[in-house]
Amino acid sequence: MQVARQMPRSLLLRSAQRLFSTGSGYDLCVIGGGPGGYVAAIKAAQLGLKTVCVERRGKLGGTCLNVGCIPSKSLLHNSHLYHMAKHDLAGRGIKINGTVELDLGKMMKNKEKSITMLTKGIEMLFKHNKVDYVVGHGSLVGPNSVKVALNAGGEQVIETKNIMLATGSDVVSLPGIDLDEKQIVSSTGALDLEKVPEKLTVIGGGVIGLELGSVWSRLGSEVTVVEFLDAIGGLGIDSEVAKQFMAILKKQGIQFKMKTKVTGVVKEGGKCKVISEAAAGGSPESWGADVVLVCVGRREFKDNLGLETVGVELEGKKVKVDHHYRTNIPSIYAIGDIVKGPMLAHKAEDEGCLVSEYLATGKEPHLDYNCVPSVVYTYPEVAWVGKTEDDLKKEGVAFKKGKYVFGANSRAKANQEELGFVKVLADKQTDKLLGVHIVNAIAGELIGEACIGIEYGASSEDIARVCHAHPTLSEALKGAAQMTAFGKAINSP
C-alpha cells in the first residue's frame, strides 16, 4: 500500500508565497486590529503573505486591550490588593502603620500605562513582521477591494487577494436608556470613572457586570446587581457553580436583584433613579444610584462594513462562514465576534491564526468551541470548559461527577484561600472527560490543564493518574478527577 507523503513545510511555504505574492496589491487585508485581527495579520506576515491591517480606533488591540480585558484586569488586580490591605492583611500577621488610602488617579494611570505599553508593543510587532498598518474605517467595495476612510482625512483603496473581517463587537444598552459614559455608563465608562461612586447599580449579572461591579465594590461602592434571569454568570455557566458563586459575592457585600427587569433610568438632582419591575411583570419599584453601569451584552460590529455591497450572507446577526471561515464570497473570510461561537478574545485569536495558516499553507482550520474556556475574573475567579451538568442532563448523557473543595487542599489552607471547588464531569460508561468547572483565586490559570484534557480526549482517570506537584492548587483538579474515576480522593473527607 502506498503511503501519501506530505510536502515538506519549507517547500509548502515557498509554494504558497509564490502563489500569493505575485502581482500588485496585498495577499491579505485584515479589517480590524483587535485580538483576532492583529494576531491574524502578524501570523500571515510570518508565513510570507504581504499583509495590511486596517483599524479605525487609532490604537491596535481592539476592545480587549483598550477598553476591555486588559484595563479591567489591571483594576481588578489592584483593587484586590487595596481590599486585602484594608481588610485581610492584619489577619495574616501583616500590620500596616497608619491608614490605607486609595489613590484612584494613580490606579487609573497604571491601567493606562499597561494599555499604552501593549498597544505600542503590537505596533512594534507590525513593523518587525512587515505588516502595513492603515488607520481608518475599512469597508468592502468589491471581492478584492477595501475602501478606507482615513482618520487623518481622505480615502485609500486597498487591492488584495483575500480579505479577513475581524471587526469584533460593541456595547449595547437597553431601550430608552442613553449612555453618557459619566453617570449612565457602559463597560467603557466604568473603566474610567473619576471617583468612587457611593452607590453603583449594575444592570446585568453576566461576566462583565460582575467583574466591574467587583472592582468598585472593593474600592468602596455599595453595589447592586440587577439580573433578568434567575442565575448570574451569563450563558454557559453551570447552575451549581452560579448558585455558589452568588453566595460568595453576597458575603463580599454585593447585593442582587434577580429575575428583575430594568424599565428605565432617570437623571434627577445629580443622581440616577433606577426603575424596575419583576421579570414576569408586576408593580414598579425604584431606587437611587450615583452611577448606573449597563452590561446587558454586546452586538456584532458590522457598521458600514459594506457587507451588502458585495453580497456577504448573514446567519441571523452573524456573518455566515463555512468550516474554513470563508463567506459565500470566496476571497472574503470572517472571524471573531461577528461569526458563530463564544464572543471571547482568545477564540478570535485562534481563529485568526488558523485562517492565516490556511491561506498561506492550505492547512485545514480546526477549533472546537467546546474546548474554549470561559473565565470570570472576580475574586475568587470562576472558570469552566466543556459541558455543564445542565447541558448533559438536557442532552440525556449519563455522567458521573467528582467535586473537590479547596478547603481540603494543603496549598489553599497554607495560603488562607480555601474558597471554592473543582467539579469534574465524565461520561459514565467511557470515563471520557466532558467538563471541568473551577471556583478559586486562580481558576483562570488552572483551567488550562482541563482544556488540554478535553481537547485530546482524556479520561478522568488520565487526569487522576498524572503526577501533580505538591503542594499546589492544581492538586484539587487531580482530587476531583480521582473522585470521578475512583469514587474517592486521597485527601477528601
User: Residue 493's pLDDT is what?
Assistant: 67
pLDDT in tens, 249-278: 999 999 999 999 999 999 999 999 999 999
pLDDT in tens, 104-129: 999 999 999 999 999 999 999 999 99
Q: How many CB atoms lie within 10 A of CB 95?
A: 7
What fold, for 380-486?
Enolase-like; domain 1 (3.30.390)
Residue 102: band (very low, low, confident or very high) from pLDDT cuts 50, 70, 90 = very high
pLDDT in tens, 21-78: 333 599 999 999 999 999 999 999 999 999 999 999 999 999 999 999 999 999 999 9
The CATH class for the domain spanning 9-64+111-170+299-370 reads alpha beta
Peptide linkage before 380 cis (omega within 30 of 0): yes
Whether residue 470 lies in the annotated active site: yes
CA-to-CA distance for 55 and 68, rounded, in angstroms?
17
Mean pLDDT on 10-30? 55
Q: Is the pLDDT of residue 242 over 70?
A: yes
pLDDT in tens, 354-399: 999 999 999 999 999 999 999 999 999 999 999 999 999 999 999 9
Number of H helices, E strands in the chain: 15, 23
Q: Of residues 323, 346, 437, 470, which has the active-site annotation?
A: 470
Peptide linkage before 471 cis (omega within 30 of 0): yes
Beta strands in 105-221 (DSSP E): 132-142, 145-150, 155-165, 169-171, 184-185, 199-203
User: Residue 99's pLDDT is what?
Assistant: 93
Question: Residue 386 pairs with which residues in a beta bridge?
Answer: 435
- Torsion, CA 206, CA 209, CA 213, CA 214, rounded to 10: 50
Residue 490: band (very low, low, confident or very high) from pLDDT cuts 50, 70, 90 = confident
CATH superfamily assigned to domain 184-296:
FAD/NAD(P)-binding domain (3.50.50.60)
pLDDT in tens, 418-469: 999 999 999 999 999 999 999 999 999 999 999 999 999 999 999 999 999 9
Going by C-alpha positions, the residue among 406, 374, 368 that lies closest to residue 388 is: 374
Q: Is the pLDDT of residue 306 over 70?
A: yes
SS3 284: coil
Q: Where in the chain are the domains?
A: 9-64+111-170+299-370, 184-296, 380-486
Q: Helices 345-361 and 35-46 sit at what angle, rounded to 10 degrees?
A: 30
Question: Residue 145 pairs with which residues in a beta bridge?
Answer: 142, 159
- CA distances for 28 relative to 46, 321, 359, 455, 474, angstroms: 12, 17, 9, 30, 42
Asked whether this chain's domains 9-64+111-170+299-370 and 184-296 adopt the same fold, the reply is yes
The answer to whether the Cα torsion of 360, 365, 369, 373 is positive or negative is negative
pTM of the model: 0.93
User: Residue 488's pLDDT is what?
Assistant: 85
β-strand pairing of 433-440 with 374-376: unpaired
Going by C-alpha positions, the residue among 72, 84, 78, 67 that lies closest to residue 103 is: 78
